[in-house]
Amino acid sequence: MGVAGSGGDYELDMLYSGTVHFTCPLGLVTLPPDYTFTPADRGSHVFNIVVITCGTFVINASDDQGVTGQLHFTRECPPAPYLEVGPEITICRNATNLRAYVFPSAGATTYTWSLTNGTIATGQGTPNITFNVDDMSAPSVLFNVNVMSNGYLIKRYGWSQRIWPLPTATINSVSRMTLCPNTPVTLDVALTGAPPFNLRWSDGFTQTIYGRRVSRTMTFPTSTSVSIAQITDAKCASGTASNTVLIDIGGPPVIAQQPQSTSIRAGDSATLNVSGTGLSYYWYQGEVGDTTNRVANGMSSFTTPPLRETTKYWVRALTNCGFVDSDQAIVTMMPGKHRGAAH
């Protein structure tokens, strides 16, 4: 029996008869079944051998008459699989319509893809697919590709790609604050993700931050809300908007109803009232603006002690954003006998 390879000069045994059996020590190839030669084969037959992986192989051939032979060959390793993810270099938790591919293989007829934590959108059966990320909490997407040639496995790829969490921004503040108009307030922000970060605030202001904390001092002429509307980092082109802080703008107090002057009998008391937007009220005896004689504080209503002569009062209304003084309220004595006088 002779063996004829491409470019070989072996002399064929045209009348050879016998059953040939093949073995491979590595066991990484799919070998043809035993074959029985007859003179009709004229010493030659074509066998198909499928190699599952790359490397150097030795295939042993023997027949039932003790004749042996060997076939040595090397299959070059293909380039490693290449993963391309859209316009980015990574997979983020909100990723959709991303692309992965392997290099085409000679003789391949189909490419069977399977993904863990991802869903194939298009391209099953080809070297190129588009896919979406399924599990937003998973650490990675697992890829497996079986490259087939007419039903035979000729290559197998497997790899994983990390899923990066979306960047976040958190404003460390109470959810609602009351400020005076144009009073500076500093908001501290904590960032998570892969620096550098790009922030766009709700008022359109943008920042590029290379650390994980940032502060911004702002003023507000009117009531509004503030948040970080958009955040990106070095890995992901979109992130989670921050919490929202409501800003209530207060103003100076307004006295809606002034304390009214009144008349009483000598020895009686008078009750004076004020209403408005003040958070607190301070009552004084004397001329408006004279704060040397405070007689009461905190209440919008004030009752004088028993009076026997005309007395002047006024009130100061306060908020965090200023104060306003009331008009003068004068308590006068009614003509006639004083309360408690003898008849």
Mean pLDDT over each residue of the chain, to the nearest integer: 86
| Domain residue ranges in the chain | 18-75, 91-164, 168-249, 255-333
Which CATH superfamily includes the segment(s) 255-333?
Immunoglobulins (2.60.40.10)
Q: State the pLDDT at residue 240.
A: 85
Q: Which of 14, 7, 72, 20 is nearest to 44 (CA)?
A: 14
Do domains 91-164 and 168-249 share one topology? The answer is: yes
Structure tokens at 30: 């799919």
Helices then strands, counting H and E runs in the chain, come out as 0, 32
Q: What is the tens place of the pLDDT at every residue in 134-175? A: 877 888 899 999 999 988 898 888 888 888 889 999 999 999
Q: State the pLDDT at residue 197.
A: 95
CATH number belonging to domain 168-249: 2.60.40.10
DSSP codes, 175-232: SEEEE-TT--EEEEEEEESSSSEEEEETTS-EEEESSSEEEEEE--SS-EEE-EEEEE
> Bigger pLDDT: 96 or 208?
208
Q: State the pLDDT at residue 337.
A: 58
What confidence category does residue 78 fall into, taking pLDDT thresholds of 50, 70 and 90? low
- The fold adopted by the segment(s) 91-164 is Immunoglobulin-like (2.60.40)
